[in-house]
Amino acid sequence: MPSYERLGALLDPASTVLLTVECQQGVVGPDSALPELAREARSSGALRNVARLVAAAHESGVQVIHAVAERRPDGRGANRNARLFRAAERLPVHQLTGSTAVRVAPPIEVAEEDFVVRRLHGLSPIHGTDVDALLRNLGCRTLIVTGVSANVAVPNAVFDAVNLGYTAVVPADAIAGVPAEYTPAMIRNTLALVATIATTDEVLGCLARARERR
C-alpha cells in the first residue's frame, strides 16, 4: 500500500475525481438482475465503502461522477456482439432508461453537484461516454475508481483512465466482483500493475488531511 505522503500527493481535491461504476439499483440493489454480484457488493462492505467515499468527496470538494449502464426499452443501439450482452437480454431485470433499476443505489447519496453519466452501449464507463471530456474540463489528474464489477467494468475503467493519461487510484475494498476470491486476484495480478491500490480508510484519511489544510 502507498504511503500517506505519496497517496496524499495524488489526491489533491482540486484535481481529483471520484468515479462510481454501475452502483445502480438494478445491479447492486435488492432487486438486482445480478443477485450474486449484489450480495457480494453488500456483504463485502464494498457498497458501504463507496458510499463513505462519496460522502467524503462531497465534504472535501472532490467531484463525483456516477457511471450508469442502461438500455432503451426497444434495445436500439445496444451491443449484441458478446455473450455478456446476449445474457443480459435474458435477465428478469433490465436496466431500462428512466426505471428504478438505473437509479444510484443506497446508501450512496447523489448530490446536486454530482454528474450522472449514462451509457447505452459497450462495457466501458469512460470510452464512448461524456466522462473523459468532463474529466478534462474539470482539470482532473487523478481518478478514483470504485464500484462493480471487478470482472469487467472496473478494470475497463482503470485501463481507459490510464490510456487517457489519468492516474488511477483503486480503493481495493470499494470494488466487488464474483466469485469473491476473484477480486483480490484481479487487484494483485492486474490492477496493481497500472493503478495505485489503497484502502477506503487510506483515501478517507488523505481527504480529511486535505480538508484540514484548507
157 beta partners:
none
Task: Report pLDDT digits (tens) over 42-71.
Answer: 999 999 999 999 999 999 999 999 999 999
Average pLDDT score over residue span 177-193: 98
Which phi and psi angles does 207 have, rounded to 5°? Answer: -70, -35
Is residue 27 scored above 70 in pLDDT? yes
User: Which contiguous run of DSSP H or E holds residue 17?
Assistant: strand 16-21
Start-to-end Cα distance in the chain = 26
Q: What is the DSSP letter of 71?
A: B
Determine if the pTM surpasses 0.75: yes
Which pLDDT score, from 0 to 100, does residue 1 have?
Answer: 60
Q: How far apart are CA 125 and CA 127, in angstroms?
A: 6
